[in-house]
Structure 1
Amino acid sequence: MQRLLIKSAIAIAAISTALFSANAAFAGQDNKPGTDATYIGAGVSAGVTNGGQTGDAATFGGNIQGRFAVPEAPVSVRGAILFSDETSALMPIVSYDIPITNNANVYVGGGYSFVEADGQPTPLGNRNSVVLTAGAEAQFGDSIIVYGDTKWGIDAYQNSSADALSFQGGVGYKF
């Protein structure tokens, strides 16, 4: 438990530093509008870590992700489902969005991963865990969104203190 608290504190400190640095970089400049798209998309997901136990191998699968952009605020409510051929992990996430160009954002956020079948592999581990994310999204035309992100599941494997890391990419539809 103490190790989880230390990891969480380090992660929060890293995210806070990134947010303050990004705000300082944009201070005094005209902020680009980024994208305020609310969308749902699908794509691939690749777990790149191993929990060290049988059934903990890195897992390839898919993702379904969505974003609800909170009007007039730099935050979004996101949802993600990372799935393998055995089960899926459902993730509610809140993110801080930073515009980088017209129609594109980077974001950092945090939430929780709920594994449907505890002990079965998903691209982000095999048990419920705190999840941190960082990614980018860009809007093309009126309705196409391309996104990619990294998700870090803290203490995300059963019978192991290992963390999980996965990479996602996909295409979404703005509505």
Structure 2
Amino acid sequence: MKQFLKSAAKVSAVSAIACGLAFVSTLSASAQTKKGLEGSYVGGSFQTGSGQTNFEVYGRYDVRQLPISVRGSVNVADFSGETFTQFAPSVTYDLPISEKANAYAGGGLAFGEGDSTAFLRGGAETELATNVVVFGDLIVPLDDDVDPGFAVGLGYRF
């Protein structure tokens, strides 16, 4: 039963991301072409999931000619006295919401010491002040043994 509930929660999270992006795209389809948040950034975030809260280094590389970004994070976590490092690169489709804000969704592969797992990533980012970006991610691993996570952070845009 516990396994079923975990799977149902993951399917619900992925569905919510897809529905949210579909809703935003219909709103922006009727508007003028928006550029959204442009540029790359690097920063840090706090990620929570599996009963743990960790700090991670996070970055976005903006592919200028396409509506995609390459994102990545390095997470160093302490589980029961053991330190684990995990790398999580991903590719996302960026959907402009306003002049300086995007919603995004995509997928990637988290790997490090031990197992690796594919994941889906969805979130939003906006410029808070000149060259200061705030972002939030929902990370849904496709492995039933790993819980979804949420990250909120700040970055410096260049």
Q: TM-score range by the shorter chain?
A: 0.7 to 0.9
Gaps of 5+ in 1: 1-5, 50-57, 119-126, 156-160
What stretches of structure 1 move > 6 A for 4+ residues in a row? none
Q: Provide the secondary structure at the position in 1 that maps to 2:66.
A: coil
Q: Provide the secondary structure at the position in 1 that maps to 2:89.
A: strand
CA RMSD of aligned residues (A): 2.5
Q: Does residue 67 in structure 1 map to residue 60 in structure 2?
A: yes
Q: Which amino acid aligns with 2:106?
A: G
Match of 2:121 in 1: 133
Match of 1:24 in 2: 26
CA, structure 1 residues 72+129, in 2 after alignment: closer, same or farther (shift >3 Å)?
same
Structure 1 position 73, deviation (Å): 1.7
Contact 1:106–1:134 (Cα < 8 Å) also in 2: yes
Match of 1:89 in 2: 86
Contact 1:39–1:174 (Cα < 8 Å) also in 2: yes
Following the alignment from structure 1 to structure 2, what is the Cα–Cα distance between the partners of residues 18 and 144?
25
Following the alignment from structure 2 to structure 1, what is the Cα–Cα distance between the partners of residues 28 and 124?
17
Match of 2:108 in 1: 111
Q: Which amino acid aligns with 1:28?
A: S
Match of 1:3 in 2: none
Q: Which amino acid aligns with 2:33?
A: N
Contact 1:147–1:171 (Cα < 8 Å) also in 2: yes
Structure 1 position 24, deviation (Å): 3.4
- In terms of fraction of residues, the more strand-rich structure is 2
Contact 1:154–1:164 (Cα < 8 Å) also in 2: no
1:142 is matched with which residue: 130, 142, 154?
130
> How many correspondences in the alignment?
145
Following the alignment from structure 2 to structure 1, what is the Cα–Cα distance between the partners of residues 142 and 95?
24
Match of 2:71 in 1: 78
CA, structure 1 residues 24+43, in 2 after alignment: closer, same or farther (shift >3 Å)?
closer
Gaps of 5+ in 2: 1-6
